[in-house]
């Protein structure tokens, strides 16, 4: 895990639009909340690969920025057979930082983890979080999505851009909000916004 301090079967149906600018009201609300305590040192975990864009945006805060670089692994994880041991998320995503997390950036990664593995993954994250910590995510609500997670660029506190998807597609899980919350023990839904392009923007919070 890199560390930065402040300064499924392929489908053939058309993929849910994967490019273009997104209005992100829940993310804007999150940024506004973080800005209320400028002296607080935040600990942030980005589940995507290292991105200069992400790091530059969050450099406005007094923070320590951790890179998980795990999103590309999630589509390949499968639940173990009955006679196999449970997956060790401590090895897949080591969380060895001494301080607890205040914010997790999941981007579109939750769509790619097998439904049966979401509770265990969520519990792994919650154990490293402060009470009241945030998790921001996008959920696909239409039939198809890119076979791999796509990259998001932060344009401002209330806008992002997704890179265009290439290659094959897979069926999106299209989780209803209540179902997703049940699959994420330890988290509650703080905000959920359906965006014009069919993405559901979700802001979860660790239960206190």
The predicted-structure confidence for 133-150, as pLDDT tens digits, reads as follows: 999 999 999 889 999 999
Please tell me the least confidently modeled range out of 52-61, 134-143, 162-171: 162-171
**Residue 33 confidence (pLDDT):** 96
pLDDT score of 1 more than 90: no
Per-residue pLDDT band at 19 (split at 50, 70, 90)? low
pLDDT score of 57 more than 90: yes
Distance CA(125)–CA(40), nearest Å, equals 21
Task: Say if CB 125 and CB 157 are below 8 A apart.
Answer: no
Write the pLDDT tens digit of every residue in 89-117. 999 999 989 999 999 999 999 999 999 99
**Residue 13 confidence (pLDDT):** 41
pLDDT score of 15 more than 50: no
**Residues in Cβ contact with 51 at an 8 Å cutoff, skipping those fewer than 6 apart:** 151, 153
pLDDT score of 11 more than 80: no
pLDDT score of 201 more than 60: yes
**Residue 74 confidence (pLDDT):** 97
Q: Would you kindly state where each structural domain of the chain is located, as residue ranges? A: 3-76+87-206
Distance CA(85)–CA(80), nearest Å, equals 7
pLDDT score of 10 more than 60: no
pLDDT score of 85 more than 70: yes
Distance CA(148)–CA(109), nearest Å, equals 9
**Residue 143 confidence (pLDDT):** 86
- Computed over every residue of the chain, the mean pLDDT equals 90
Task: Say if CB 164 and CB 196 are below 8 A apart.
Answer: no
Side-chain-facing half-sphere of 8: CA atoms under 13 Å: 23
- Could you please state the CATH topology (level 3) that the domain comprising 3-76+87-206 is classified under: Rossmann fold (3.40.50)
**Residue 186 confidence (pLDDT):** 96
Per-residue pLDDT band at 196 (split at 50, 70, 90)? confident
What's this model's pTM, rounded to 2 decimal places? 0.90
Token couple for 65 = 């920025």
Three-state secondary-structure class, residue 31: helix
């Amino acid at each position: 895990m890199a560390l930065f301090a402040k300064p499924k079967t392929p489908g053939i149906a058309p993929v849910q639009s994967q490019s273009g600018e997104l209005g992100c009201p829940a993310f804007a609300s999150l940024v506004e909340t973080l800005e209320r305590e400028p002296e607080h040192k935040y600990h942030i975990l980005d589940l995507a690969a290292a991105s200069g864009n992400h790091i530059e945006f969050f450099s406005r805060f007094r923070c320590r920025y951790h890179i998980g670089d795990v999103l590309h692994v999630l589509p390949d994880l499968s639940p173990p057979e009955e006679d196999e041991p449970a997956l060790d998320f401590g090895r897949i995503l080591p969380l060895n930082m001494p301080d607890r997390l205040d914010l997790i950036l999941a981007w579109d990664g939750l769509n790619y983890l097998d439904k049966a593995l979401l509770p265990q993954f969520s519990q792994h994250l919650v154990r490293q979080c402060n009470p009241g910590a945030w998790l921001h995510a996008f959920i696909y609500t239409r039939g198809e999505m890119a076979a791999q997670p796509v990259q998001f660029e932060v344009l401002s506190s209330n806008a992002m851009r997704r890179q265009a998807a290439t290659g094959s597609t897979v069926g999106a899980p299209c989780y209803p909000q209540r179902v997703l919350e049940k699959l994420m023990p330890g988290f509650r839904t703080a905000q959920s916004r359906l965006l014009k392009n069919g993405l559901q923007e979700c802001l979860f919070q660790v239960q206190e």
